[in-house]
Structure formats: structure tokens, C-alpha cells
Amino acid sequence: MMTEYELRTIWMIFIAIGIGTYGLRLSFILVVGRMEDLPPQFSGMLRFIPATVLAALIAPTLAVLSVDPGVGLDVAYTRVVACLVAVGIAWRTENVLATICGGLVVLWGVQAVV
Amino acid sequence: MAILPISLGVVPFGVIAGGAMIESGIPPQHAIAMTIVSFTGAAQLAAIDLIDQTAPVAVIVLTAVIINLRFTMYSASMAPYFRRFGALTKWLGAYVLTDEAYAISITRFRDGELSSHSQKWFYFGAAIPFWATWHLSAALGVLLGTSVLSDVSLAFAVPLTFIALLIPDLDDRPTMLAALISGVASILLGFIPFNLGFVLAVLIGITAGTAVEQRSTTQSEQPVATDTGCETT
């Protein structure tokens, strides 16, 4: 589809998005960099960010909740199997490459069989 | 280096983003420059979709920025490590901050084996190749259109990398619980638009983890060391 906006307007949009997004990325890095000490509560909360972010990035690739027209859970079973194997490999080896390769091989294997 | 497979995993996504720009009628060199200026995956796709629909400019910008709210959490999480870095590292580092660069770096920073200097180079060593791969794949999409997209299952390398990073990070009960709740919530809240379900799920997970930790601390009445990794430099 061709847009009705002029190139100049589209540039304005992307520059504004760029500045806004950059501000979000820079926000705490700049503010915390100027603080003398970190409040302990802040540090206590920060420690959960990596695990919660990773879990929230992974989970929606396995199942999607649809609410319209009715509530239903669409589970990608092939991916779930591949993920379980990947979790097992990650648990045993703590090796990133082995985890990815194992997961992809299982994904393609199951896709070929089913 | 985990950045290689995860970078390859986002190639299809980059190609789609680049191809969508062209299909909207944006000239190729402008499309690539706009990709560099904004450097944002999901938000760029949403913006281009809204530009096609001639949505109001303010709505387009606001939508994209809301989709990117999660960067604030990454910024907060990385901030303690960035404190000791110079201004240039902070400003440049913030520009190349992505889901992928964040995930790979923070899990490595937290195990405390890297010196502050190594952390800086580890971060850029992950973030800059990822940045380059994103723009090369977007350029590929710009040049060839989205039809070159071959195997979408390659994109599955991205969540697999996240699994490899997550599992070793689950080293105590509060963290496991926080991750579990966040994961379940991210599925249940996924219908909320503009990625807000994701942000909400993470906040719920953090709250649960913090609550469990505080309860176990008051029960045992022993101070628990708050481990942000800062002490171990």
C-alpha cells in the first residue's frame, strides 16, 4: 500500500520516534549515572528484570491467548516440544549454541514428522 | 558468542521491516536512513502500518514510543553497570540497546566474572554486530522486497537464545517464581495492544519476586544480600 503522506512528514515521524525511543533507552542509564548511591529497594527490584524479561519474551512465542470472538488459547505444540528440549539442554550444558542447535533440530524434526 | 545465532534469527524480521518501507512508497535510501534513525524493530513495523493507513502523526509517534516502553526497564537494569562508564559509552551504548543486546549482556554481567572494562567491550561486541545485522537485513528487504523471506522457523533461534540465557539465571526460588509468573502473565496479557501486556507481565513478575524475597527475609530475619552484580567488579 502506498502512503498518502509526503516524504517530509514521514521523516518527521521517524525522527520523532527515534528521539523518543532514544530517550527511553538513555533514561535510567543517565539518571542512575548521576546518583551517588542506589536505593537498596531499586537494586532489589532490578535483580528480577533479566529473568522476567526473558520469560516474557519466550512465552508468547509458544502460546497466544485470543480474546476475540471468544477466549481461547492457541498453543504451538511443535515449538513447546522444541523449547522443552532446549530447556533440558540449557539446564545440563549451560551452552548457548548447543541449546539453539538442539531446539532448531527438534523443531525441524517434529515439523518433518507431523 | 551468542550474538551470532540471535542476529541471524532476526534477519527475517529485518527483511520484513525493510520491505514494508518500500511497499509504502518510501525511496530506498530514505528507507534505510529512517531505519538507522529510529533503530526499532516492532515499533517500526507498527509505524509503517499506521503511515499506510494515514493515521494522525501524533498517534503514530505515540504508538511507536509506547511499544518501546520496555527499553526503560532495560535501561534501569543496565544502569548500575553503566555508572562507571564515560559519557560517550553511555550515549552510544543507549543507542544500540536492544532486547537481544540487553539479554546477552545482562546475563553475562550478573555472573560477575567480567571486569568493568571487559563488560564495556562485551556489550559493544554484542550490540554493534547486532545493529549491523539488523540494518543489513533491512537493506536486503529494501532492495529485494519481502519475497526473499525463506525460512521463518529460523526466527525461532531468537527465543531459543533467550532460553539459553534464562535457565542459568534461575539460581534461586524468588527468581524462578518471578520468571514463571512473568511468562504466564505475558501469554494471558498478550492481547493488550502496543506491547503493554509485555511491560505489565514483567512488572507483575518483579513484584511477585520482590514480595517472596521480602517474606523469606523477614521469616528468617537474616539480611539477604541484594545482588545487582555491582559489588563483584
Average pLDDT, chain A: 91
Confidence (pLDDT) at B217: 77
* Cβ–Cβ pairs < 8 A, chains A and B: 291
* Residue A52 Cα, gap to closest chain B Cα (Å): 4
Instruction: Answer yes or no: do B52 and B119 share one domain.
Output: yes
Among B169, B189, B223, identify where a domain stops: B169
Instruction: Answer yes or no: do B163 and B182 share one domain.
Output: no
* Parent domain of B211: 171-233
Q: How is chain A classified by DSSP, letter by letter? A: ---SS-HHHHHHHHHHHHHHHHHHHHHHHHHHHH-SS--HHHHHHHTTHHHHHHHHHHGGGTEEEE-SSS-EEEE-HHHHHHHHHHHHHHHHH--HHHHHHHHHHHHHHHHHH-
**pLDDT over threshold 70, residue B226:** no
Is the separation of the CB atoms in B133 and B157 below 8 Å?
Answer: no
The nearest alpha carbon in chain A to B76 belongs to A28
Please indicate whether, in this complex, the C-beta atoms of A64 and B187 are within 8 angstroms of each other. yes
The nearest alpha carbon in chain A to B87 belongs to A30
B85 chain-A contacts, CB cut-off 8 A: 33
What interhelical angle do B28-38 and B41-52 show, nearest 10?
130
Instruction: Answer yes or no: do B144 and B55 share one domain.
Output: yes
Instruction: Answer yes or no: do B143 and B157 share one domain.
Output: yes
**pLDDT over threshold 70, residue B102:** yes
**pLDDT over threshold 90, residue B127:** yes
Each residue's pLDDT tens digit, B138-158: 999 898 876 655 556 677 888
B161 chain-A contacts, CB cut-off 8 A: 96, 99-100
Residue with the three cell numbers 529473568: A51
Please indicate whether, in this complex, the C-beta atoms of B43 and A17 are within 8 angstroms of each other. yes
Instruction: Answer yes or no: do B66 and B40 share one domain.
Output: yes
Report the range of poorest mean pLDDT among B13-27, B88-102, B160-174. B13-27
Each residue's pLDDT tens digit, A17-74: 999 999 999 999 999 988 878 888 888 888 999 999 999 999 999 999 988 888 899 9
Among B154, B169, B184, identify where a domain stops: B169
**Residue in A48, A59, A99 nearest the CB of B160:** A99
Among B125, B154, B169, identify where a domain stops: B169
Each residue's pLDDT tens digit, B55-92: 999 999 999 999 899 999 999 999 999 998 999 999 99
Confidence (pLDDT) at B229: 40
Each residue's pLDDT tens digit, A87-111: 999 999 988 889 989 999 999 999 8
The nearest alpha carbon in chain B to A81 belongs to B160
Instruction: Answer yes or no: do B157 and B210 share one domain.
Output: no
Q: Into how many domains does chain B fold?
A: 2
B47 chain-A contacts, CB cut-off 8 A: 13-14, 17
Tell me the whole-structure pTM to 2 decimals.
0.83
Percent of chain A with pLDDT over 90: 68
